[in-house]
């Protein structure tokens, strides 16, 4: 749960981080865009100003040339005042208000017929000093804003100034020149001096006051003070100034560009004032499209993220499904069962039930694997249909299922299992299968925290009555708990026991029924505990078969028997072949034949004196088994089929020349006396002999059984009737009693 939460938190954090990164990147892009837009606006303003300045300079140059030509006309004119009238026709052509000539005393004659004293005017004084001059805005007597352009009139010899020629233009005309073509005609330009005084009249929203643009700005909005200060500073520094100003309602860009200084005029500044939104609108489409693009990218990114998360989730679900779903039944497998139990979503206390079908293997063998799978699928379906919320059903392996059920008491639980059992048994006729015997091992649990242990206990409970047909369920009880603990203890002690040689070999003789002579023996292991008690193999062999330790024990026994044979032989006794049990798990080691052979060689014994017993149920018809048996045979081992007839024998294996001897299981020997049993045994012995195999009868307890086996020409007999398994020392006495016919070389 902790890991899951940590993963979830990690994923959420990653997603949040991705979103934050995305937004930061978008924010950064937008701010870059804003900076870029501002730069673009500055560039636009500068370009516009430059364009205006160029236009203005060209116009002023033309006017000055015109003025110069007028002045040169006047030069040497004997009656300049009378000559002024001559210029009257060109006044309108040059878009002027009037043209005038002033004597050095300042008395001027104008084309409109007026005479004026302009001696105090700067443009007059400047021209008298020899400068070509352009005035700032002057107000006429009738309140009209004008600009005067003046030039000196030189004497014909060019040595002295004889007067001043000047042209008065309406500031309107100046304005015409300044009218900015860009900004869709919504920008306003003007020329000012450094102190803000207008050279050319201003038209637009921000009206100058007293012909001074700064006064006008401050009057329009007191908040402009800072901006005005900055503009002044920028202009005084000789550079440009760009500020945002306001008229109280609207924002404007105020751009001041220095105009190259020319003689005859003060330092001019070209001012462009344009509403902020006009300019912003120009960059807005770019901003909008970039913003849209960013939005699309972010959405795309998030979409990709979501798609990724979705597919990741799907994949995980699929992985989970594969990992936690059983392929045969489509239901949960044991891992899923385990996870769900540990998840705690099943509500604590309940019953873990191990479900098995008795004899499923034979159904599988006789009806085929696909029919077997069909049966498992149907069985899984029944179990699934019977579990409620907070209950579980899972397929463990082959015919093993597990349930987790809630029930108010044991009786109700048994009723439920009884019902399930009925449903399962009803499958047999429907699926044309032999009688089905479901078995339930039950473990009551207080919590779902230990699924493995609970399922293990339920399995133990089921194993308890595996061979009983009268029971269909069993509860894991105290006795089993103790047994489980004992088993656990034995598992823990195994390594030490091997090291300390706590396993001792007992020998059960095999006699010839005809002669009553000791012919062979089977080595049977016992565990001598440090306290001296003896544990029979039935207690630990199945346990070690389950946990895999059996292969080591088999090898240990094999080695001990070889050593014993060597010792007996060295002691001058006539040894008889001793068979050693080889469990199914040992056969999984492909090099077992070589390993056993090297043990044989190490002890210097012969394979004539060591035989191998392989239980019938361990033998399958696989190529690997064939190879193994061949390997044993080529080493010279005789192979005995153990427990023949106890399970479902495949007679075809008899035809394969796998075995040298058949050990008829006690269960068949016990049938001696019944006519069917007698004929069955007779047939088996005949069959074995036909295939050149000898026959041993196991578990012979009665004289009648032994007598019958004599009649059948059974080759030897092993059973309590002759002898129980004996400790090595007692078996040695038996050997010693036999005549010393041959010794191991
Ligand atoms: P098994 O190989 O079928 O051995 C025969 C078992 O039947 C022995 O039990 C033996 O004592 C018992 N028996 C023999 N004659 C009679 C009889 O007349 N009446 C009755 N009721 N029982 C008889 P044991 O020694 O308790 O061994 C049980 C099983 O443990 C063996 O069955 C064998 O499967 C396994 N086992 C014993 N030793 C070893 C071993 O070293 N390795 C392996 N893998 N399994 C072993
Ligand atoms: Ca045996
Ligand atoms: Ca046996």
Nearest of 579, 594, 670 to residue 628 by alpha carbon: 594
Q: What's the pLDDT band for 205 if we cut at 50, 70, 90? A: low
Nearest of 339, 190, 343, 212 to residue 268 by alpha carbon: 190
Distance 495 CA to ligand 3 centre (A): 26
Query: What ligand has the least distance to the C-alpha of 539?
Result: 1
CA distances from 622 to 353, 386, 427, 668 (A): 34, 39, 31, 27
Distance 643 CA to ligand 3 centre (A): 4
Q: Which atom of ligand 1 is nearest to the CA of 506?
A: 25
Q: Which atom of ligand 1 is nearest to the CA of 557?
A: 41
Distance 640 CA to ligand 3 centre (A): 10
What does the pLDDT look like over 623-682, one tens digit per residue? 888 899 999 999 999 999 999 988 766 677 777 788 999 999 999 999 999 999 999 999
Contact indicator for 714, 695 with CB cutoff of 8 Å? yes
Distance 63 CA to ligand 3 centre (A): 135
**pLDDT score recorded for residue 415:** 96
Handedness of CA 568, 569, 570, 573 (dihedral sign): positive
List all residues 6 or more positions away from 273 whose beta carbon is below 8 Å from its beta carbon: 187, 188, 189, 190, 204, 206, 245, 252, 253, 254, 255
What does the pLDDT look like over 60-71, one tens digit per residue? 888 889 999 999
Contact indicator for 81, 100 with CB cutoff of 8 Å? no
What does the pLDDT look like over 583-623, one tens digit per residue? 999 998 989 999 999 999 999 999 999 999 999 888 877 88
Q: Taking ligand 3, which is a single-atom ion, which protein residues have CB atoms under 5 Å away?
A: 642-643, 698
Distance 509 CA to ligand 1 centre (A): 12
Average pLDDT over residues 373-381: 95
> Tokens 């950064």 belong to which residue?
28
d(CA 417, CA 353): 9
Distance 582 CA to ligand 2 centre (A): 8
Please tell me the residue having the least CA distance from ligand 1 atom 10.
725
Please tell me whether residue 452 adopts helix, strand or coil conformation. helix
Pocket test residue of 581, 588, 668 for ligand 1, highest count of atoms within 8 A of CB:
581
Distance 190 CA to ligand 1 centre (A): 122
Q: Which atom of ligand 1 is nearest to the CA of 537?
A: 30
Average pLDDT over residues 707-723: 95
Q: What's the pLDDT band for 203 if we cut at 50, 70, 90? A: low
Average pLDDT over residues 237-241: 80
Distance 745 CA to ligand 2 centre (A): 27
Give the DSSP letter of residue 260.
P
Distance 474 CA to ligand 3 centre (A): 28
Please tell me the residue having the least CA distance from ligand 1 atom 13.
699
Please tell me the residue having the least CA distance from ligand 1 atom 7.
699
Has residue 745 got a pLDDT over 60? no
> Tokens 């945002």 belong to which residue?
244
Distance 663 CA to ligand 2 centre (A): 8
Residue 205, token pair as written in the block: 């929203």
Has residue 76 got a pLDDT over 70? yes
Has residue 700 got a pLDDT over 90? yes
- pLDDT cut 70: percent of the chain above it: 95
Q: Could you give the angle at which helices 592-603 and 550-570 cross, rounded to 10 degrees?
A: 20
Average pLDDT over residues 103-116: 91
Q: Report the b/e string of 633-662 with b at 16+ CB within 10 A.
A: beeebbbbbbbbbbeebeeebbeeebbbbb
Q: What's the pLDDT band for 50 if we cut at 50, 70, 90? A: confident
Distance 550 CA to ligand 3 centre (A): 17
User: Maximum distance among all alpha carbons in the chain?
Assistant: 180
Please tell me the residue having the least CA distance from ligand 1 atom 45.
581
d(CA 148, CA 134): 6
Pocket test residue of 498, 537, 618, 644 for ligand 1, highest count of atoms within 8 A of CB:
537
Pocket (CB within 6 angstroms of ligand 1): 508, 524-525, 536-538, 541, 550, 554, 557, 581, 583, 642-643, 666, 698-701, 718-720, 725
Please state, rounded to an integer, the average pLDDT across all residues of the chain.
Answer: 89
Q: Which of 200-209, 508-517, 618-627 has the lowest mean pLDDT?
A: 200-209
Distance 443 CA to ligand 2 centre (A): 34
Q: Which of 48-52, 64-68, 256-260, 631-635 has the lowest mean pLDDT?
A: 48-52
Q: Which atom of ligand 1 is nearest to the CA of 525?
A: 38
Distance 496 CA to ligand 1 centre (A): 24
Q: What's the pLDDT band for 283 if we cut at 50, 70, 90? A: low
Please tell me the residue having the least CA distance from ligand 1 atom 37.
524
Please tell me the residue having the least CA distance from ligand 1 atom 4.
524
Q: Which atom of ligand 1 is nearest to the CA of 700?
A: 18
What HEC string does 583-628 produce?
A: CCHHHHCCCHHHHHHHHHHHHCCCCCCEEEEEEHHHCCCCHHHHHH
Give the DSSP letter of residue 435.
P
Residue 294, token pair as written in the block: 């960013």
> Tokens 């760009």 belong to which residue?
242
Nearest of 151, 129, 160 to residue 68 by alpha carbon: 151
Please tell me the residue having the least CA distance from ligand 1 atom 12.
699
d(CA 169, CA 176): 11
Query: What ligand has the least distance to the C-alpha of 640?
Result: 2
Query: What ligand has the least distance to the C-alpha of 702?
Result: 1
626: region left, alpha or beta (phi > 0 left; psi from -120 to 50 alpha) = alpha
Contact indicator for 543, 575 with CB cutoff of 8 Å? no
Query: What ligand has the least distance to the C-alpha of 524?
Result: 1
Residue 728, token pair as written in the block: 């090595």
Has residue 410 got a pLDDT over 70? yes
What does the pLDDT look like over 533-557, one tens digit per residue? 999 999 999 999 989 999 999 999 9
Q: Which atom of ligand 1 is nearest to the CA of 720?
A: 18
Distance 427 CA to ligand 2 centre (A): 38
Please tell me the residue having the least CA distance from ligand 1 atom 19.
699
Pocket test residue of 498, 505, 522, 524 for ligand 1, highest count of atoms within 8 A of CB:
524
**pLDDT score recorded for residue 22:** 81
d(CA 64, CA 58): 10
Q: What's the pLDDT band for 277 if we cut at 50, 70, 90? A: confident
d(CA 375, CA 602): 51
Distance 536 CA to ligand 3 centre (A): 15
d(CA 586, CA 581): 10
Residue 694, token pair as written in the block: 């000898």
Which residues are bridge partners to 187 per DSSP?
274
Please tell me the residue having the least CA distance from ligand 1 atom 11.
725
Average pLDDT over residues 332-350: 91
Q: What's the pLDDT band for 742 if we cut at 50, 70, 90? A: very low
Please tell me the residue having the least CA distance from ligand 1 atom 16.
699
d(CA 207, CA 220): 8
**pLDDT score recorded for residue 301:** 82
Q: What's the pLDDT band for 202 if we cut at 50, 70, 90? A: low
Residue 160, token pair as written in the block: 């002295």
> Tokens 């001059």 belong to which residue?
133
Nearest of 185, 234, 187, 238 to residue 214 by alpha carbon: 234
Nearest of 587, 574, 579 to residue 617 by alpha carbon: 587
Has residue 180 got a pLDDT over 70? no
Please tell me whether residue 477 adopts helix, strand or coil conformation. coil
DSSP secondary structure string for all residues of 694-736: EEEEES---HHHHHHHHHTT-SEEESTTT---EEHHHHHHHHH
Please tell me the residue having the least CA distance from ligand 1 atom 44.
583
d(CA 110, CA 123): 15
663: region left, alpha or beta (phi > 0 left; psi from -120 to 50 alpha) = beta
Query: What ligand has the least distance to the C-alpha of 725?
Result: 1
**pLDDT score recorded for residue 390:** 92
């Amino acid at each position: 749960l902790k890991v899951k939460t940590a993963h979830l938190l990690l994923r959420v954090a990653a997603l949040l981080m991705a979103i934050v990164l995305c937004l930061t990147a978008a924010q950064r892009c937008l701010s870059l865009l804003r900076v870029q837009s501002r730069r673009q606006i500055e560039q636009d303003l500068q370009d516009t100003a430059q364009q205006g300045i160029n236009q203005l300079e060209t116009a002023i140059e033309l006017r000055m040339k015109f003025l110069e030509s007028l002045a040169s006309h006047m030069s040497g004119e004997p009656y300049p005042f009378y000559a002024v009238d001559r210029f009257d026709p060109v006044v309108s052509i040059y878009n002027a208000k009037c043209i005038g000539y002033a004597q050095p005393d300042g008395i001027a004659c104008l084309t409109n017929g007026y005479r004026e004293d302009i001696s105090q005017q700067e443009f007059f004084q400047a021209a008298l000093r020899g400068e070509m001059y352009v005035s700032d805005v002057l107000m006429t007597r009738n309140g009209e804003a004008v600009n005067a352009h003046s030039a000196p009139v030189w004497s014909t010899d060019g040595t002295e100034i004889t007067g001043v020629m000047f042209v008065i233009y309406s500031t309107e005309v100046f304005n015409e020149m300044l009218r900015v073509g860009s900004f869709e005609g919504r920008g306003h330009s003007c020329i000012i001096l450094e102190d803000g005084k207008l050279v050319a009249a201003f038209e637009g929203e921000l009206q100058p006051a007293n012909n001074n643009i700064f006064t006008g700005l401050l009057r329009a909005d007191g908040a402009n003070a800072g901006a005005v200060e900055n503009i002044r500073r920028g202009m005084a520094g000789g550079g440009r100034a760009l500020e945002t100003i306001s008229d109280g309602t609207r924002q404007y860009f105020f751009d001041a560009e220095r105009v190259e200084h020319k003689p005859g005029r003060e330092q001019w500044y070209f001012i462009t004032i344009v509403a902020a939104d006009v300019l912003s609108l120009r960059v807005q489409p770019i901003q909008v499209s970039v913003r849209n693009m960013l939005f699309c990218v972010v959405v795309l990114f998030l979409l990709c993220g979501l798609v990724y998360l979705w597919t990741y989730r799907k994949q995980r679900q699929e992985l989970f499904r594969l990992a936690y779903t059983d392929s045969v039944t489509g239901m949960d497998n044991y891992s899923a069962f385990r996870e769900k139990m540990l998840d705690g979503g099943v509500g604590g206390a309940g019953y873990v039930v191990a479900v098995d079908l008795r004899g499923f293997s034979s159904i599988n063998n006789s009806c085929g694997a696909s029919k077997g799978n069909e049966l498992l699928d149907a069985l899984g379906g029944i179990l699934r249909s019977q579990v409620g919320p907070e209950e579980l059903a899972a397929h463990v392996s082959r015919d093993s299922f597990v349930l987790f059920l809630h029930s108010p008491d044991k009786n109700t639980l048994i009723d439920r299992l009884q019902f399930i059992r009925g449903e399962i048994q009803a499958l047999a006729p429907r699926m044309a299968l032999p009688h089905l015997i479901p078995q339930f091992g039950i473990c009551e649990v207080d919590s779902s925290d230990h699924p493995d242990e609970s399922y293990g206990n339920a399995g133990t409970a089921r194993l308890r009555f595996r061979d009983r047909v009268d029971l269909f369920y069993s509860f894991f009880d105290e006795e089993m708990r103790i047994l489980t603990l004992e088993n656990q203890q034995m598992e823990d002690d195994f390594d030490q026991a091997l090291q300390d040689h706590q396993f001792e070999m007992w020998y059960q003789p095999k006699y010839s029924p005809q002669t009553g002579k000791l012919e062979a023996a089977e080595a049977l292991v016992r565990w001598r505990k440090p306290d001296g008690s003896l544990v029979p193999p039935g207690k630990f062999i199945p346990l070690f078969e389950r946990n895999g330790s059996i292969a080591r024990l088999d090898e240990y026994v094999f080695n001990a028997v070889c050593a014993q044979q060597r010792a007996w032989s060295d002691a001058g006794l006539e040894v008889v072949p001793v068979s050693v049990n080889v469990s199914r798990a040992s056969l999984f080691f492909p090099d077992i034949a070589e390993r056993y052979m090297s043990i044989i060689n190490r002890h210097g014994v012969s394979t004539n004196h060591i035989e191998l017993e392989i239980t019938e149920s361990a033998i399958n018809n696989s190529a690997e088994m064939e190879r193994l048996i061949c390997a044993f045979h080529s080493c010279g081992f005789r192979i005995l089929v153990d427990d023949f007839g106890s399970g479902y024998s495949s007679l075809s294996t008899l035809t394969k020349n796998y075995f040298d001897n058949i050990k008829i299981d006690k269960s068949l020997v016990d049938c001696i006396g019944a006519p069917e049993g007698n004929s069955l045994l007779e047939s088996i012995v005949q069959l074995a002999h036909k295939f050149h195999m000898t026959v041993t009868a196991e578990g012979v307890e009665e004289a009648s059984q032994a007598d019958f086996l004599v009649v059948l020409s059974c080759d030897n007999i092993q059973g309590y009737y002759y002898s129980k398994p004996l400790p090595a020392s007692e078996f040695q006495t038996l050997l010693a009693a036999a005549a010393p016919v041959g010794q191991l070389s």
